[in-house]
Amino acid sequence: MHGTAEQDILCRTDLFRGLSPDSLRALRRSATRRRLATQDPVFHQGDRAETFYVVAEGRLRVTQTTADGQQVIIRYVGPAELAGLAVLAGDDLHPSTATAVADSEVIGISRAVIREIMARHPEVAMNAVSVIAARYREMQQRLREMSTQNVERRIAHTILRLAREAGRRTARGIEIAFPLSRQDLAEMTGTTLHTVSRTLSAWEGRGLVDSGRRRVVVRRPHELAMLADAAG
Amino acid sequence: MHGTAEQDILCRTDLFRGLSPDSLRALRRSATRRRLATQDPVFHQGDRAETFYVVAEGRLRVTQTTADGQQVIIRYVGPAELAGLAVLAGDDLHPSTATAVADSEVIGISRAVIREIMARHPEVAMNAVSVIAARYREMQQRLREMSTQNVERRIAHTILRLAREAGRRTARGIEIAFPLSRQDLAEMTGTTLHTVSRTLSAWEGRGLVDSGRRRVVVRRPHELAMLADAAG
DNA sequence: GCGAATCTTTGCGGCGGATCAAAGCGCTGC
DNA sequence: GCAGCGCTTTGATCCGCCGCAAAGATTCGC
């Protein structure tokens, strides 16, 4: 699984959907591959935005850190998804940091290459519009959640979303397929690890989830969804 | 100020920057103008996304309403800015509602027209990427604020942002140039009108702002910015 | 100019969730 | 196998902000 897998992943992205085999081949030649171990950084907040990445395998965590050192998780990025969208927009700097949370493989594409492809293939530029618009909508949804829902519902929504994006069916239920700590969930929902821990403990008591050290399994997705949609 | 003003506004947008005069003229012919009084709706959440709008004059409020009827304000949109970005992305439905908050004039452009322009003029498609990416970044910032800052700082940031986007210099300070109620600020910051009212009263006591019925004037922008950046 | 509607202010009580503190648990490395 | 580190749990306390309630301003319609 080398070249062919790589080309597969590129044409499976929403960004390059519809690009001709020839162009894909050329793109593949100018792209670079990188293997990452857990914890390896891909780029840092404030770095020059020279290269964006397609995840071929594994998963990245995208975070932002505030002036006073608080961190929030913007998103997890999985196979066939993109990290470093600022490059597509032609921005100078990466506004966020991307880090591998599992052994991963990414394909890097430089600003110059993607800008030229978009200029030559408007359908790719239009795909880029859709990709970023989807992220924008995602963000609107999270903002709405933060504004109107209490902590328990926010955690429920977040876990359900992760289960959808990165869920693995097991005998016990749907397992989120990468290490996810209480602290991580807190940084996604705007609360503290203490509150997340208490909430998961309560759910565990009711048989909704099964969780442990950096591990979450959703046992009753339907009931958790009810809870996520309940008032409050 | 008819045709010429309209063309001016179109070429002053980030979206159509760099488009040739000929194409602009053609675009202008296929666009429609609409005058709006305060409170007039432009489009509704759930409507088919057939047309997006360039604000030529005035201001729109873009909101989302949750299943249980709670409203959040996504953004205010002023001259040379866009409303209805979903149309650019080719989405089926408008995810939000846009309403005039002052007498306004908008220029409507249909999905078919903009898609064709983007297909023919990649630079416009790339502009669209930048426009949406800017909104995405804006949203990330607000999410970060919601996650890490207390109510007072969020209100301060919000008012400063509005003053920057829609501020009018007056003898008393910078006046936000459209009607803005306590409830509106609450829906932008994820709090209640009561808390906004208390906060503004406190600031008024310290001479930071001067506010009344649907009216906010920032008297000491610098001090308000200090407060917005302070810890907490 | 009067009343009604809308927006704002302010007091009071309560609670969700943060904060502080300390102890348990499960990996990892030697 | 034991030490040590990072993650998790749980208790106790506190406080920022919400929710409710009622009165005070301001604008608008007739």
pLDDT-above-70 percentage for chain B: 97
Q: Say if residues B181 and B172 touch (Cβ distance below 8 Å).
A: no
Helix axes B122-148, A122-148, angle to 10 degrees: 20
What pLDDT is stored for residue A6 in this prediction?
A: 55
Chain B residue numbers touching A148 (CB-CB < 8 A):
66, 70, 72, 190
Mean pLDDT score of chain A: 95
Query: With an 8 Å Cβ cutoff, is B121 touching chain A?
Result: yes
Instruction: Provide mean pLDDT across the span A196-213.
Output: 97
Query: With an 8 Å Cβ cutoff, is A229 touching chain B?
Result: yes
Contact B129 A133 (CB under 8 A): no
User: Does the pLDDT at position B177 exceed 60?
Assistant: yes
Q: Say if residues A72 and B144 touch (Cβ distance below 8 Å).
A: yes
User: Does the pLDDT at position B6 exceed 70?
Assistant: no
Residue B107 sits at φ, ψ, to 5 deg, of -115, 120
User: Does the pLDDT at position A2 exceed 60?
Assistant: no
* pLDDT tens-digit map of A110-125: 999 999 999 999 999 9
Query: With an 8 Å Cβ cutoff, is A90 touching chain B?
Result: yes
Strands A51-57 and A82-83: antiparallel
Chain A residue numbers touching B67 (CB-CB < 8 A):
229
Question: What CA–CA distance (Å, rounded) separates B172 from B67?
Answer: 42
Identify the DSSP state of A190: T
* pLDDT tens-digit map of B110-152: 999 999 999 999 999 999 999 999 999 999 999 999 999 999 9
If DSSP codes are grouped into helix, strand and coil, which group holds residue B214? Answer: coil
Task: Show the CA angle centred on residue A161, arms to residues A157 and A164, nearest 5°.
Answer: 140
Q: Identify which of A67, A91, A118 has the shortest CB distance to residue B125.
A: A118
Q: Name, in order, each residue with C-beta under 8 angstroms of B124's C-beta and a sequence gap of 6 or more.
A: B15, B16, B18, B19, B117, B118
Query: With an 8 Å Cβ cutoff, is A91 touching chain B?
Result: yes
Cβ burial, residue B204 (10 Å; 0-12/13-18/19+): middle
Distance of CA A173 to the CA centre of its chain: 22
Cα Rg for chain B, rounded, in angstroms? Answer: 19
Interface test with A, best of B143, B149, B151, B189 (most A CBs within 10 A): B143
Query: With an 8 Å Cβ cutoff, is A22 touching chain B?
Result: no
Q: Identify which of B125, B139, B147 has the shortest CB distance to residue A72.
A: B147
Per DSSP, the residues of A152-165 read: HHHHHHHHHHHHHH
Question: What CA–CA distance (Å, rounded) separates A98 from A82?
Answer: 11
- The CA–CA distances, whole Å, from B98 to B56, B210, B211 equal 15, 28, 25
Query: With an 8 Å Cβ cutoff, is B148 touching chain A?
Result: yes
Task: Search chain B and give the residue with CA nearest A90.
Answer: B130
If DSSP codes are grouped into helix, strand and coil, which group holds residue B177? Answer: coil
Q: Is A39 left (phi over 0), alpha (psi -120 to 50) or beta?
A: left
Q: What is the dihedral of CA A123, A126, A130, A131, to 10 degrees?
A: 70
Cβ burial, residue A212 (10 Å; 0-12/13-18/19+): exposed
What pLDDT is stored for residue A173 in this prediction?
A: 96
If DSSP codes are grouped into helix, strand and coil, which group holds residue B125? Answer: helix
Q: Name, in order, each residue with C-beta under 8 angstroms of B96's C-beta and a sequence gap of 6 or more.
A: A140, B45, B62, B63, B64, B74
* pLDDT tens-digit map of A139-190: 999 999 999 999 999 999 999 999 999 999 999 999 999 999 999 999 999 9
Domains and CATH numbers, chain B: 3-122 (2.60.120.10), 146-229 (1.10.10.10)
Contact A126 B139 (CB under 8 A): no
Query: With an 8 Å Cβ cutoff, is B231 touching chain A?
Result: yes
Question: What CA–CA distance (Å, rounded) separates B97 from B189?
Answer: 18
Per DSSP, the residues of B80-120 read: T-EE-THHHHT-SB-SSEEEESSSEEEEEEEHHHHHHHHHH
B:128-157 Cβ neighbours of strand D under 7 Å: 150-152
Distance A218 CA to C25 C1' (A): 22
Tell which A residues from 25 to 54 touch B, by Cβ distance under 8 Å: none
Instruction: Provide mean pLDDT across the span B33-37.
Output: 95
Q: Name, in order, each residue with C-beta under 8 angstroms of A30's C-beta and a sequence gap of 6 or more.
A: A109, A110, A113
A201-215, B2-16, B38-52, range with the lowest pLDDT: B2-16
Interface test with B, best of A132, A142, A191 (most B CBs within 10 A): A132
Q: In this structure, which amino acid lies at residue A88? A: L
Task: Answer whether any strand D atom is within 7 A of the Cβ of A182.
Answer: yes
What pLDDT is stored for residue B232 in this prediction?
A: 78
Spatial CA neighbour of B18 closest among B27, B33, A49: B27
User: Does the pLDDT at position B5 exceed 60?
Assistant: no
Instruction: Provide mean pLDDT across the span B192-198.
Output: 98
Contact B128 A129 (CB under 8 A): yes
Q: Which residue has the tokens 């490059």?
A: A87
From the CB of residue B173, how many other CB atoms can be counted at a distance below 10 Å? 20
User: Does the pLDDT at position B207 exceed 80?
Assistant: yes
C16 C1' closest Cα residue: A150
